[in-house]
């Protein structure tokens, strides 16, 4: 039977972690977040500190340098960090669930021992190369190709919107590529998609100039080019032809993590709005005394409670090893909507100040939209939920 995680009733080891990360967020992340965002500066120092705290190693076994925890512990950390800085939270989320987790789940023992310690100490990052210029939600439309030649994979193609792919501490990218064809259940030929590890600095592998983004300004995001890239045949990650299926599993887990990040963003909007509504006066009294404001904030809090319960439920099943695909999609859908809705309402509560970038709610307004797009759009989540219902 699944042991359900319940908001407000966490076991002490989880609550202790949550408090520790909350204190780190309030004391070290919050004071520098506006400046990092304004300068579009990657937070190397904060990433290193999170590494020292063991956050990048939370769900990994101690034998590889991890903390021996689980995915729910990572979600709690993401929620607390995202209250103040979504860019930093997505750096952690992508570094763990998209960068290191594929190695942990599908790598050989040699790959795990060689690569995991380099990316779970906060001194290195890995990236997840799935999305392409013409293959986003339709990830099966991969155009990148890889062929075996003299004991090496030769890779040609391009990837788009890849997080953590161009930092000074990026160690490698795991990239999907078509490595041949296979016969589908309907008798037609379909692309065989595999996953290959490409170390940073490999000739022909180029992180192109960073994107000029609407939000997540201190997160690292690049298009990637593969032009005759050669890596050893042993750099195949997992079984040949299972790359697409394996990355779908990674995305299921990642959706729970994105839901947690979204809850943190939504909670940050509530906290900022409550504080502002108590301090800001209009017509002789705090604006929080007016129902037009207080009811708006109350609805924001209700969204947070519902979204947190949804991701806790999904995480409970995931950690217990039970099927959680539907619950992950529900959590991601509800939580990303809550983040965007709360950001809009928080900006309204703050009035003109909410339109100023130095205010937290303005950053959340810009940052939260991508939560309805990345790691599966809201429309994809609805499709997956309907499919799980047999529709």
CATH number at residue 184: 2.40.110.10
Which phi and psi angles does 323 have, rounded to 5°?
-55, 135
Are residues 246 and 199 in contact, defined by beta-carbon separation less than 8 angstroms? no
Residue 6 lies in a domain: no
Distances 18 to 8, 15, 217 between C-alpha atoms, Å? 11, 5, 25
Assess whether 110 and 179 both reside in one domain. Answer: no
Assess whether 287 and 255 both reside in one domain. Answer: yes
DSSP-based three-state secondary structure for 273: helix
Single out the residue of 264, 231, 249, 242 nearest to residue 92, CA to CA. 264
Q: Where residue 252 sits, what CATH number does that domain have?
A: 1.20.140.10
Assess whether 230 and 162 both reside in one domain. Answer: yes
Assess whether 214 and 263 both reside in one domain. Answer: no
Residue 51 lies in a domain: yes
- Matching residue, tokens 């299972």: 242
Q: Where residue 60 sits, what CATH number does that domain have?
A: 1.10.540.10
Are residues 42 and 167 in contact, defined by beta-carbon separation less than 8 angstroms? yes
Assess whether 140 and 188 both reside in one domain. Answer: yes
Spatial separation of the C-alpha atoms in residues 194 and 174, rounded to whole Å: 10
Spatial separation of the C-alpha atoms in residues 391 and 271, rounded to whole Å: 39
Residue 2 lies in a domain: no
In 25-163, alpha helices (H): 30-39, 44-53, 71-82, 86-93, 101-106, 109-119
Residue 5 lies in a domain: no
Residue 254 lies in a domain: yes
Assess whether 185 and 314 both reside in one domain. Answer: no
Q: Catalytic annotation on 375?
A: yes
For residue 57, give the DSSP letter: G
Residue 88 lies in a domain: yes
Q: What is the pLDDT of residue 321?
A: 94
Residue 1 lies in a domain: no
Assess whether 252 and 383 both reside in one domain. Answer: yes
Spatial separation of the C-alpha atoms in residues 192 and 184, rounded to whole Å: 10
Catalytic member of 79, 80, 93, 375: 375
Distances 247 to 85, 126, 232, 324 between C-alpha atoms, Å? 27, 15, 21, 16
Nearby residues of 200 by Cβ (< 8 Å), 6 or more positions away = 170, 171, 172, 173
Last residue of a domain, one of 179, 214, 240: 240
Assess whether 109 and 146 both reside in one domain. Answer: no
Nearest-5° Cα angle at 7, 365 to 273: 30
Assess whether 112 and 47 both reside in one domain. Answer: yes
Whole-angstrom distance between the N-terminal and C-terminal Cα of the chain?
28
Assess whether 233 and 252 both reside in one domain. Answer: no
Using the Cα atoms of residue 73, residue 75, residue 76 and residue 77 in order, give the sign of their dihedral. Answer: positive
Residue 7 lies in a domain: no
The segments of the chain whose pLDDT lies below 50 read none
Single out the residue of 176, 47, 16 nearest to residue 120, CA to CA. 47
Q: What is the pLDDT of residue 136?
A: 73
Q: 168 is in which domain, residue-wise?
A: 126-240
Assess whether 259 and 356 both reside in one domain. Answer: yes
> Into how many domains does the chain fold?
3
Last residue of a domain, one of 106, 123, 140: 123
Assess whether 379 and 337 both reside in one domain. Answer: yes
Q: What is the pLDDT of residue 388?
A: 96
Last residue of a domain, one of 204, 222, 240: 240
């Amino acid at each position: 039977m699944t042991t359900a995680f319940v908001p407000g009733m966490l076991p002490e080891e989880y609550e202790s972690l949550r408090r520790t990360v909350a204190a780190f967020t309030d004391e070290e992340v919050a004071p520098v977040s506006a400046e990092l965002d304004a300068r579009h500066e990657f937070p190397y120092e904060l990433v290193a500190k999170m590494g020292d705290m063991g956050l990048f190693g939370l769900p990994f076994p101690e034998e590889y340098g991890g903390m021996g925890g689980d995915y729910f512990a990572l979600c709690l950390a993401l929620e607390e960090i995202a209250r103040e800085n979504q860019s930093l939270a997505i750096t952690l989320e992508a570094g763990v669930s998209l960068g290191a987790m594929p190695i942990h789940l599908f790598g050989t023992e040699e790959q795990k021992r060689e690569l995991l310690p380099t990316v779970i100490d906060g001194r290195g990052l890995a990236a997840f190369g799935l999305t392409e210029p013409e293959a986003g939600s339709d990830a099966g439309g991969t155009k990148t190709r890889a062929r075996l030649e003299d004991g090496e994979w030769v890779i040609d193609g391009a990837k788009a919107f890849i997080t953590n792919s161009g930092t000074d501490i990026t160690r490698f990218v795991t990239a999907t590529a078509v490595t041949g064809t296979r016969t589908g259940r309907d008798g037609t030929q379909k692309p065989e998609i595999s996953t290959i590890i490409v170390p940073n600095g490999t000739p022909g592998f180029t992180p192109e100039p960073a994107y000029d983004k609407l939000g997540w300004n201190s997160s690292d995001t690049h298009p990637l080019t593969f032009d005759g890239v050669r890596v050893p045949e042993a750099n195949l990650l997992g079984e040949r032809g299972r790359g697409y299926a394996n990355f779908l599993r990674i995305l299921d887990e990642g959706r729970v993590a994105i839901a947690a990040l979204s809850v943190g963003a939504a909670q940050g909007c509530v906290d900022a709005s409550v504080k502002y509504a108590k301090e800001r006066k209009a017509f002789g009294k705090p604006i929080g005394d007016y129902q037009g404001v207080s009811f708006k904030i109350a609805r924001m809090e209700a969204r947070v409670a519902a979204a947190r319960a949804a991701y806790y439920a999904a995480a409970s099943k995931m950690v217990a090893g039970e099927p959680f695909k539907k619950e992950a999609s529900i959590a991601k859908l509800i939580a990303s909507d809550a983040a965007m809705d709360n950001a809009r309402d928080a900006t309204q509560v703050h009035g003109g100040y909410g339109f100023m970038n130095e205010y937290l709610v303005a950053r959340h307004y810009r940052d939260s939209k991508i939560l309805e797009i990345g790691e599966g759009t809201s429309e994809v989540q609805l499709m997956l939920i309907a499919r799980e219902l047999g529709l």
